[in-house]
Structure formats: structure tokens, C-alpha cells
Structure 1
């Protein structure tokens, strides 16, 4: 199906905006972690965090990546700091691929989407891949002397120097590095990473993948590889897509390919490695990655097919990668705005606001030619650690202590991990809270469907489905289990919501058929709600 040029360009622009909004929280975290590494962990602390020169560097980098809540865009500023600290290239490769795949939020979400063993096997498969590629990279990738991207030499601001900044001046240096990096190299890498979404929107018309990657299609993993290479996907998006793929009996091998290639990397990842370690070595690394992923995908394709699930013949899981604008609709300004803002929640809006503030600060700092080296040159003697041991140093009393930067950095990183765990309980509330939210979404969705307001019902339907997933995760992390009856009722309600979605999208709209589906949903909903409601 051919698309008009205006639809291709407009759809690509919308996808880029959606991708940037989705990346905002994890990009913010990635920039923060990079700043902590530079001014608190230092080179030695960073190398120690990722296993140094020991044999455990690859699995340790994989584990660190699994704990930190970043995406394939947020990992790029961290890679720059790892390279600056002279971390082994193999460990960098392992971290770059594993960090975007899983974090506590997405891992818990994934455990409720399919059989838990499937997600565990996927995680184990990612460990095999990053270990093999890390060994390959250390053997053939070589090393180059690090140099930060288009930034002035600020080695004097390195906290590993004998006389480094302390106190408020070090905090200021962290702020300056964060702001300048956001408006410098990291911005360029982000644009390159998101450009893959624009390419896909131009190549894939609206709904082009609704009948793709079926479980009996032996080309499914290969097809998904072609889509996944330019894709940028957040861990949560990838997990929701995996759940839909298993729900619709799509190819498990294609699901694994999407997870590793679509979530674990983006267009900027191989370009970044190529720039710093040579494109020839990076090409070998990339080809090895594709071969390993395809090999594992075909090996697990049949064994991991969920029992008792018949192929649906269609899916909306990959609509996010195709052009969001139907050819028949055109580029209506209101609908385009709705496409961008409809999925913005509080965390995304807050992250965009913070990124906007730091972007303005970064532009101002660049115009005033203020960088970290300037802070070092203009610092007074008491802003350096050497002032603590000078002859005229005043004794510090009470809580006025100078804590070593390594301890502060480790505490900050541990705090990020702890915050991600706490965020699990905030993002996945208790069943009682979820049922309250579901009640509102259900009322809006079903009343709109009964009255023929298809667009309004289609808005609330995914909200209802999302809260159903979050209720299962919230129940799991609080009770340690999801009873089979609860899991089955959740599966049934989501299957019937899918049927309702099809009726709402049917052209022409058939009110009587839709109302019949609504009645069926209400009967299933009663059993589903009772299964999660606390028993007195």
C-alpha cells in the first residue's frame, strides 16, 4: 500500500514525538547516572561497579543493567562515562544490551503477561547473548583512548584526581555536566535513535503489521528482525507487546527478537560503538548479535508456544511501529495532537518539564561558555579536598563531615535502585485501588459503547486493560502469588475487551452487535472483580 508523502512525513514526525515523550523518564535517569559516575564514583569506582578487569565483569555488567531503570536511549550517556573510565569494551557491550531490556517495573509486569518461566528464560537468554558478545568484543573489538563527544577537556574536574572538588562546587559541576550533556552529544544520539521510528512510519502504512509474525510463519523471527533493528521501544512497551503476542499466539521467536533487538538497542547504539571503536569491529559485533538472536529465536519458537491458545490471525501489538495516520484520514491537526498527548501520564509530563528546564540551563551555560573546567579554574581553595588537610584548615564539628565521593556515589546509585523498587508499589497499587480506577474506566467505556460513541469507548478501553494488568502485578508483589483462577478471569476479561475493540472499529458500526458484546463483558467482569476483591 502506497502512502502519500505528507502522510509519511507527518506520521514519522508524530512517532518521533511519541518516542521522545516515552524516553523522557529513562533519559533523565541515564543522564543522572552518568553525572553521578563522573563526579562521585570516579573512574576507579565506575570500573569497580562493572567488574573491572575480572572474569565477572560481563555477568556483573548484565546484573547492574537489569537493576538500573534506563532505556536504550538513556544508556548512551552512561556508555560515554564508562568509556571515559576505561571500562572493558565487553562489559560496556553487556551493559548496553541488558540495561534497556529489564528493570524491576518491567520485569514484574512481564511476569503477569505470560507464563513466568517464559520471561525468566528470556532473561537467561539475554545473559547468554551479552556474555557471548562481550567475549567477542574483548577479543576483537580493541580499545581506543577515550575522548568525550564534542566536549572540552575537563580532566581537571575528574574526582579521581588527588585534589578534586567538594561541597557545593561539586554539586554545581554535576548540574553543569547534566545540562551541557543534555544539550550536546546526548541530544544528537537521541535524535538518531528516534529517527528509526520515522523510517518505520514511512515504510509501514497504518495497520500494516496486524496480520504479521504468526506462530506458524517460519519467517516470523526474520520479519521481526527487520522491524526491530530501527525500533526504539521502552522496557514497559516491549513487555506489553510480548504479552499481546502470547495472547494472540504470535511467534515466540519473533517476541524474543523484538525484545533483544527492539528494546536492547536502537539505531544510535551501533553507530555509537562504531564511532568509538571502529565501524569494522562494530559491524562484526552487530552481525554476531543478529546471528545469535536469530539462532535462539528459531530454537525457542516451537517449544514456547503457549498451550491452549489458538492464533487470533491479527494483533494490534505492532500498530505503534506503523504509521499512526490512516491514508483515508489525512493529517487533521486535532487528531495529530491527540495522538501525541493521549498517552502522556504524570511521570512523562514531569520528566519533560525537568528536561525542558535543564535544556534551557544547558543552552545558557553554553552561551556563557561555562563548563566543569571553568568551575575548577574559578574555585577557591576551600572548594578542594586538599583544603581539609592544609595547615589553616578549620576543624569540622558535628554533622559537618566530608564523605568520600565513592560512598556518596554508591549511595546515590543504590537509592536509584531502591526508588525503582518503591516505584513498583506506587505504579502497581493494591487491588482495592485498582478496582476503583477500573470502575471508572469500565463505566466510561461501556456506557460509550452502548450509546454508539465508539471513539470515546476506544479511548477508555486500553485504560481498563492497563489497570487490569497493574492489578495483577500489584496483587503479586503484595501476596507473592496470582491464583490460577484470578489469572484465568483476567485472561477472559481481556479477550472480551479485545472483541469489543473489534466491534468498535468495525465499519460500518453495528450498535446491536456491540451491545451484545457489552452484556457478555458484564457477566465476565462480575466473576473477575470478585476473584480480586478481598474476602471479609
Structure 2
């Protein structure tokens, strides 16, 4: 199926805008972590955080990556600081690939999408990938590291900022980075989505990567390399793949390559370690992932699930526009805004404010380096003391920056845990939201308002997932009966989606599906109300 140039261009623009919006929250987190590493942990503390020169650096970097809530774009500014701190290249590779894969939010979400054993095996598989690749990367980059040593500022300048001046330096660095290389490399990362929109027409992936397709992992490889996917998106797609009995190997490929990296990741390694070494790194990664994908493809096939023959899980990677769509800016705005939620909008607003501040700092030539150079010994902002100065006393104590930095990072991890309880509310609150979404969706379906029903249907499905995770967080379990009822309601919601997309619209058949959903919904809701 061929596409017109205008469809390719507008579709690519939509996908890049959607990707940028999705990346905004974790990009802000990544920039914040990078600033903390620079001004609080410092080079020595950063190396210690990622295992230093010890053998545990690879698994330790993998574990740190699993705890921090960043995506494959948000991890890029952190890589800049790791490189500056002279962290081992293998540890950088391990962190770069593992950090975008799992975080507390996505891991809990994933446990409701498939068998818990599958998610655990995928997590262990990612450890195998990053460890093997890290060892290879350490060997490849050893010579390059000897030629391009990075100056350690802590060795040449024993002073470090303290107090409000350090806070201001952190803010300046944070803001300036949003108007510099980080934003350029973000555009490079999102360009893969535009490429896919140009190559894959509307609905092109709906019948691909089936369970019995031997080529499924290889097909997914070519899609996953240019993809940018947030951890939550990758997890939701994994769940849909298992629900539709798609290839488990293709699912693993999508997780590691789709969520774990993007177009900018190998570009970054190439710029810093040489294109030959980066090419070998990428080739090794593809071979390892593809080998593991084929190894687990048959053993992890979900029992009792027949292939559906189609799926909408990958529509997000194909062109969002067909020849039947109106090609104008209104279509672009409507398609992009449909995917925005409160957290994304808030993150975009904050990012806009930070970018504006960064531009002001650049115009006024304010940078963090000048703050360090102007910190005089004995001043409130300097860690150095004059020889004849009185010792600090009382509350005037210089807290080691590593202590503050470690506290901040621990706070981010704790915030992720708190966010789990906020993102996955109590069952009673979830049921209230489900009731509102159900009323909107089914009433619209019965009255023939297809677009309105299709808008509320994924919201209903998303809250069904949150209901299970929220129940698990508060009770420690989701009973098999509850899990089965959740599976049934989502299966019937999918049937409703297919009816709504049928052309021409069939009111009688749609109403029959709605009645079927209401019967299942009653049992599903009752199972969670009884567990309170």
C-alpha cells in the first residue's frame, strides 16, 4: 500500500509530536538526575554509584537503571554526566539500556498484563543482555578510553559550590541543557517515529508478528530499532501481544530495542567512542537480542490462548493517517491532543518554562562555570576556608555533597513508589472512574456516536488495568477469578472496538455486544467490590 508524500509528512509530524509529549515527563526527570550527578554526587560519587571499576559495575548499573523513572530519551543527559565522570563504558551501556525498560510504575503495570513469570524472565533477560553487551563494550572501548581521557574537575579544583549558589548552579545547568545538545539529540531520537510513519502505512502492522510466524522476531527487529517507546507504552503493547497470542520473541525484541534505545542511542555512543566501536556495539546488541528472542519464542507461548489474527498494539508505530483523513493542521492538532493527559500537559508546561529560562540564561551569558570561578574562599558559597578563618560552628556546617546527592536520588526512588499509589488508586476510586468511562462509552455506542465511544473505550480499558494493580498494591494479591474477569471484560471491549470500526456501522450488532459487555461487567465489578 503506497502513501502520498503529504500523508507521510503529516503522519511523521504527528508521530514526532506525540513522541515528544510522551517523553516530556521522563526527560525532565533525566535532566534533574544529570544535574544532581554533576553538582551533588560529583565525579567520584557518580563512579561509585555505578560500581566504579569493580566487577559489580554492570549488574549495579542495571539495578540503578531499574529504579530511576526515565525513558530512552531521558537517559541521554544522564549519559553525558556519566561520560564526564569517567564511568566505565560497559556500565554506561548497561545503564543506558536498562533504565528505560523498567521502573516501579511500568513493572507493576506489566504484572497485570501477562503471567508474572514472563515479566520476571524478561527482566532477567535484560540483565543477560546488558551484562554481555557491557563486557563486549568494555573491551571495544578500552583503546578509545586511553586516547581520550576526560579531565576530572575534582582533581584540578578542590572547591565545590555549597548553599544557595549550588542550588542556583543546578537550576542553571538544568535550564541550559534544555536549549542545547540534549534537545537536538531528542529530535534525533524522535526521527525514527517519522521514518516508521513514512514506511508503514495506516494499519500495516495489524496482521504481523503472529505466534506461528517464524520471522516474527526478525520483523519486529526492523520496527523496534527506530522506535521510541516509553516504558508504560512498551508494557501495554507486551500485554496486548500476549492477549492476542502474538510472538513472545517479538515481544521481547520490542521491549529491549523499542523501549531500551532509540535512534539517538547509537549516535551518542558513536560520537563519544568512535563510529566503528559503536557499530560493533549495535551489531552485538542486535545479535544478542535476536538470539534470546528466538530462544524464548516457543517456551513462553501463553497456554490456552488462540491467535487472534490481528492486533491494534502496533498502530502507534504506523502512519496515523490514511488517504481518507483530512490533511490539515486541524487533523494534526486533534490527533496529537487526543493522546495527552494531565501529567503530560503539566510536564510540557514545566518544560516550556524551563526552556524559556534556559534561553534567558544563554542570552545573559549566565552559566554554572562562572559561579564556581567566582566563589571566594571563606564565603558562604564556598567549601574552602581561609587559613585564618574561624571554624564553622552551629548550623553553619558543610554537608558533604555526596550525602545530599544520595538523599536526592533516594528521594526520587521514594517518589516513584509514592507515584505508584497515586497512579494506581484504591479499588473504590478506580471503580468510580470505570463507571464514568463505561457510561460514556456504552451510551455513545448505543446511540451510534462512534468517535465518542472510541475515545472512552481505551480509557475504560486503562482503568481496568489500574484497578488490578491498585488492588495488588493494597491487598498483596489479585485473585485468579478477578484476573479472569478482567481478561474477559477487556476481550469484549476489543469486540466492541471492532464493531465500532465496522463500515458500515451496524446498530443492532453493536447493541448486542453492549449487552454482552454489561453482563460481564456486572460480575467483574462485583469481584472487586467483594474484596474490599
Distance 1:135 1:160 in 2: 31
> What residue in structure 1 maps to residue 28 of structure 2?
28
> What residue in structure 1 maps to residue 206 of structure 2?
210
Structure 1 residues 146 and 393: alpha-carbon distance in aligned structure 2, compared to 1, 3 A threshold: farther
Per-residue Cα deviation, 1:15-60 (whole angstroms, up to 9, x for no partner): 0000000000000000000000000000000000000000000000
> What residue in structure 1 maps to residue 508 of structure 2?
512
Distance 1:386 1:213 in 2: 59
> What residue in structure 2 maps to residue 392 of structure 1?
389
> What residue in structure 2 maps to residue 17 of structure 1?
17
> What residue in structure 2 maps to residue 265 of structure 1?
261
> What residue in structure 1 maps to residue 522 of structure 2?
526
TM superposition shift of 1:384: 4.4
> What residue in structure 2 maps to residue 135 of structure 1?
135
* Contact 1:230 1:262 (8 Å CA) reproduced: yes
Distance 2:140 2:391 in 1: 53
Per-residue Cα deviation, 1:56-82 (whole angstroms, up to 9, x for no partner): 000000000000000000001100100
Structure 1 residues 210 and 164: alpha-carbon distance in aligned structure 2, compared to 1, 3 A threshold: same
> What residue in structure 1 maps to residue 123 of structure 2?
123
* Contact 2:383 2:398 (8 Å CA) reproduced: no
Structure 1 residues 390 and 419: alpha-carbon distance in aligned structure 2, compared to 1, 3 A threshold: farther
Distance 2:444 2:451 in 1: 8
> What residue in structure 1 maps to residue 110 of structure 2?
110
TM superposition shift of 1:337: 1.3
Per-residue Cα deviation, 1:286-313 (whole angstroms, up to 9, x for no partner): 1111111111101111110101101100
Distance 2:279 2:105 in 1: 33
> What residue in structure 2 maps to residue 44 of structure 1?
44
Aligned runs of 1:13-412 on 2, under 5 Å?
13-142=13-142, 143-144=144-145, 161-381=157-377, 382-388=379-385, 390-393=387-390, 395-397=392-394, 399-412=395-408
Distance 1:146 1:484 in 2: 57
Distance 1:480 1:508 in 2: 46
Aligned runs of 1:2-13 on 2, under 5 Å?
2-13=2-13
* Contact 2:164 2:381 (8 Å CA) reproduced: no
* Contact 1:249 1:312 (8 Å CA) reproduced: yes
**3-state SS of the aligned residue for 2:402?**
helix
* Contact 2:21 2:340 (8 Å CA) reproduced: yes
> What residue in structure 1 maps to residue 446 of structure 2?
450
**3-state SS of the aligned residue for 1:320?**
coil
Distance 1:80 1:232 in 2: 19
Per-residue Cα deviation, 1:172-219 (whole angstroms, up to 9, x for no partner): 111111111111110111000000000000111110100010000000
Per-residue Cα deviation, 1:460-517 (whole angstroms, up to 9, x for no partner): 0000000000000111111111100000000000000000000000000000000000
TM superposition shift of 1:161: 3.5
TM-score normalized with structure 2 length: 0.97
Per-residue Cα deviation, 1:417-452 (whole angstroms, up to 9, x for no partner): 000011000000011000000000000000000000
Aligned residue pair count: 529
- Which of 427, 436, 441 is equivalent to 2:437? 441
**3-state SS of the aligned residue for 1:350?**
helix
Identify unmatched segments of 5+ residues in structure 2.
Answer: none
Structure 1 residues 515 and 165: alpha-carbon distance in aligned structure 2, compared to 1, 3 A threshold: same
- Which of 467, 470, 474 is equivalent to 1:474? 470
Distance 2:346 2:155 in 1: 31
* Contact 2:375 2:382 (8 Å CA) reproduced: no
